[in-house]
Amino acid sequence: MGTVTIQQLKLLTDIIEQEENVDAKMQATVNAVRDFFSVNNAWLLYPCVQDTPSCRRLFFSCRSDAPCFLEQDAVIQVDSGLRTHFKEHLEAEQPLTFQDEHCRMCLESCPGKKEHCSQLSMILKMKNDRHWLFGLCDCSIRHWSRDERDLFQLAGERLQHAYDTVRLMETIQRDIAKRQKVESEILRSEQRFRSLFQHTSISLWMLDVSRLLVAAGRSRSDDSREQTGSVADNVIVPSHELIEIVDVNSVTLELFAAHDKEHLLSSLGDIISENSLSTYTTIVHALLNGKTHFTLETDFFTLTGRPLVVILNVDVLPPPDAHMVLISVTDISARKKIEEKLFDSREQYRLLMENSSDAIFLFDAQSLTVLEANPKAVELTGRSIDQLIGLNQKELHPAEDHDFHRRLFREYIQGNISGITTNITVLHKSGRRIPVQISASTTTIKGRTIIQRIYHDLSERIVEEEQRRLLATAVEQSEESVVITDPEGTIEYINPAYTRTTGYSWQEVVGKKPGVFKSGKMPQYLYRLLWQDITAGKVWQGKIINKKKTGILFTEDVIITPVKDRQGKISHFVAVKRDITRQDQLENLVRQSQKMQAIGTLAGGIAHDFNNILTAILGFAELSVILCNDNTLLKSNLSEIITASERAGKLIDQILTFSRQTEKNVSSLRVDPIVKEVLKLLRASLPANIEISTDIRSKAMVRADPTQIHQVVMNLCTNAYQALADQNGRIRVTLDSVLLAPHEGVDLGNLPAGEYVTLTVADNGRGIAREHLNRIFEPYFTTKDKNEGTGLGLSVVHGIVNDHGGAVTVQSIPGEGSSFTVYLPRIPDTELRNNVGEVEFLIGEGRVLLVDDEQQIVDYEVQTLEKAGYVTIASTSSVEALDIFKKQQEMLDLVITDMAMPEMTGLQLFKEIRKIRPDIPVLLCTGYSEHVTAESSTKIGIDGYLAKPFTAEQLAGEVHRLLSK
């Protein structure tokens, strides 16, 4: 501040002090300030408050060369602009400057009104009066310097102090006469204040901050603010050394658990928390920024370590004690705990509302409208929260239920709340009806009765109950047995299917262990493994042979599932069991059939080549017999070759028979003559110690191949004889008729219901072991010694019987004997004669084209045909034979062709020949073909068919027959 400014301030102080009257002081100050600052005018407005409708310009000074025509005591209406002006000053702590287009304090007729106005003004905060607005106006663009602002502020402060001093002096002068009278009262008042300070229920602290304020003033006068920061920042660090705790009351000592004032002041570090340290800094900032009253919340510790939450009310005493600060400390720890509990309670209520699995509504008891609802209520009704609030309760329910709910709410209000109400329907926004159960409660808040209703959606429960009923019904009506046991294996439940399957009633099995049903046919280790699996929480599945109440064994497919409770502990076992005895029997039949089919496929593969070889052997042997003349030994040897070839051919026939790949000569016939014929042959060949008995009860007819039926009877009787093992024994053959019911046919191999002819061959021989029963019909399976049979006998029987639509069964007890029964479908009793002709080696004539890819067979057939009188043209190539036919077709009388040949099969050759000459007869010869049989060859137009091996007589006879046509 310059020397001139200091002199002006001293002069102004002298002017103020010279005037005794307060109004004179005010006016003199206005005049002096106008002159000091060389402005158009200076003024004082009163009062300067925002809510006043008007104010007066009580003191005013204007330059003589720029007069203002606004009167000295003029009333100024406070508009929004001036009110804003006041507000800005009231919020400021220092003088404010304004640059306006016109003067706010002049009349419209003021010469400076149309010019720019620069204003410097400040609030005079009078202690004993309302605030004044002290200002300067200069009708020009003027930038107020810092010295001018400081001088103006000091002038204002001097004027404010002078004003307050005068008013105070006036007060003192008015009261001086009474002072003697009230001195004693003042003393008592001071004593009362002291007593109040010490004994009030609020903790009080009296602080002296004079040194803090002095340090702040010194910092403020230092022109280094821009470099070091604000005044508060400069003094905040050493502030604890600049504030003196003058006094504390007894409540403070009690609150902080201090013995006395010295004890407390020496232990201040123990009561300070991190938060209260921050609060202390805030207080210092506020004091240095001129705040005289403010409130803060913070926390401390008592000297015993107990935490405190307090409210601090900070008050700066009015001058001349403005350096004194009174702080009241109110302990709100208990209230804070209550607030926290209340907050927790509200938070819990909010979480309950938001996370409840049930819909919650709060209704006003008077209007019955929704006051509040939770998110589940939104989901239940399909309405948003905004749509639910204010909705009458009847809108939530169907119209037919409105009276019922109105009565319920009336009972709620009367206090008649009786638990849970069920069979209630809520109406969804979409119109869908939702079943619920309701529980209700009432409460009163500030005289208002609130009804809370909780709606529990029963939709899922109803569905679950229906599912449980359906499950129970399904279990009760299931055709599969269901058994439920406890974790120890004790039976707790069986369904009716279980009773039907086993014959055991509920009373006979519930409370018992499943071991009562064991058949003794299952290994013990299986049960141990089963129990280990299910007790480990695994699902077990397998087949078990159990025993019915009648003692009959049956096979079950069993699935055992552990049932666990919510803790994951096994609470029950559930076994679902299905009787698969018949299924096992059928599967065994299928497996047997598949084995037969596999062997049959193998047999068919070798039959062709083997028959070709046999044809050459047999044929050349027969031709050699014709040529040997009287050589008896040679003829005998050749006869053995022929016999062996015929046996080999029969073996091939048996192989093809059990695989059902031979051609049957089927006719309607009676079985009893065949049985008698076979037994007649057997009597001559069996030893005398074997007794054969017959029981012919039926002469019914069947549709069958007589040769194959003959073979079935022979094989069964031969098998029975071999089972007697050269011991004295009996073979009994029974022929009868039976009528099978549907279930009986299934047990016998899935036969359809109806009448059947049964052939039973029984013996009292050594019998068959149980483990072999399922394999006796397999090809080459035998239980006999190496030299007893080929293992094909029963396989052939099985193949022939199945091919005739029947079945064969066996019953055997080791050491007591076996019984085989054949079932053949019965037909009505009619008789058809078989066209059986005898083939002769006949002589003929004609030209024959012969083709076979086997040279040996070609040679054999050429010799045979030439001996029978035919001219033969032979080839081992079907393509070559076709070429010969094309060239000599008119000279040929017959074509003989093999079936399986490379390049072109016999069937393909036949078709090509017929295209050329449709009338020529063709004889087809085959070792074996799955594509062409005697019957199928006739259907496609082939004239003759010979299956290898065939004799020379058969070949000559068939050629003679074809050419004779």
- For 552-570, the pLDDT digits (tens) are 888 889 999 999 988 889 9
Question: What mean pLDDT is predicted for residues 294-317?
Answer: 91
Q: Residue 659 — pLDDT band, cuts 50, 70, 90?
A: low
Residue 512 has pLDDT above 50, yes or no: yes
| 851, burial (CB in 10 Å: exposed 0-12, middle 13-18, buried 19+) | buried
| 585, burial (CB in 10 Å: exposed 0-12, middle 13-18, buried 19+) | middle
In sequence order, the β-bridge partners of residue 577 are: 481, 558
Residue 792 is predicted with a pLDDT of 63
Distance between CA atoms of residues 525 and 857, nearest Å: 63
What's the length of the chain?
A: 965
Q: Residue 839 — pLDDT band, cuts 50, 70, 90?
A: very low
Task: Return the domain boundaries, the chain.
Answer: 3-173, 200-331, 356-462, 488-571, 665-827, 847-964
Listed in sequence order, the residues at least 6 apart from 811 whose beta carbon sits closer than 8 Å to its beta carbon are 818, 819, 821
CB 299 within 8 A of CB 311: no
Residue 48 has pLDDT above 60, yes or no: yes
- Residue range 356-462, CATH number: 3.30.450.20
Question: What mean pLDDT is predicted for residues 752-765?
Answer: 91
Residue 836 is predicted with a pLDDT of 32
Coil/strand/helix, residue 632:
helix
> Domain 488-571's class?
alpha beta
Distance between CA atoms of residues 202 and 327, nearest Å: 10
In sequence order, the β-bridge partners of residue 118 are: 99, 138
Listed in sequence order, the residues at least 6 apart from 530 whose beta carbon sits closer than 8 Å to its beta carbon are 540, 542, 560
Which range among 635-639, 694-698, 891-895 has the greatest average pLDDT?
891-895
- What kind and span of H or E run contains 416? none
**Residue by residue, what is the 3-state secondary structure of 545-580?**
EEECCCCCEEEEEEEEEEEECCCCCEEEEEEEEEEC
Residue 373 has pLDDT above 70, yes or no: yes
pLDDT averaged over the chain? Answer: 82
> Domain 200-331's class?
alpha beta
Distance between CA atoms of residues 79 and 874, nearest Å: 142
Residue in the block written with tokens 């009292």: 764
Q: Which two tokens stand for residue 809?
A: 């069964």
- What kind and span of H or E run contains 328? strand 324-331
Distance of CA 19 to the CA centre of its chain: 96
Q: Which fold has domain 3-173?
A: Beta-Lactamase (3.30.450)
Distance between CA atoms of residues 741 and 375, nearest Å: 68
Query: For the chain, what is the largest distance between any 2 Cα atoms, rounded to a whole number of angstroms?
Result: 193
Q: Residue 600 — pLDDT band, cuts 50, 70, 90?
A: low
> Domain 665-827's class?
alpha beta
Distance between CA atoms of residues 792 and 603, nearest Å: 12
Q: Residue 240 — pLDDT band, cuts 50, 70, 90?
A: low
CATH architecture of the domain 847-964 equals: 3-Layer(aba) Sandwich (3.40)
Residue 833 has pLDDT above 50, yes or no: no
Residue 740 is predicted with a pLDDT of 86
Same topology, domains 665-827 and 847-964? Answer is no
Using alpha carbons, select from 921, 922, 919 the residue that is nearest to residue 932.
922
Digit-coded pLDDT (tens) for 621-647:
877 877 777 777 787 777 778 877 776
Is pLDDT larger for residue 90 or for residue 585? 90
One-letter identity of residue 383: R
- Residue 736 neighbours by CB distance under 10 Å: 15
Digit-coded pLDDT (tens) for 434-444:
999 888 888 88
Q: Which two tokens stand for residue 514?
A: 């499943």
* Distances from the Cα of 158 to the Cα of 1, 216, 299, 318, angstroms: 16, 20, 41, 17
- The order of strands in the sheet holding 293-301 is 244-248, 203-208, 324-331, 307-316, 293-301
* Distances from the Cα of 166 to the Cα of 19, 177, 437, 679, angstroms: 10, 17, 82, 163
Residue 601 is predicted with a pLDDT of 65
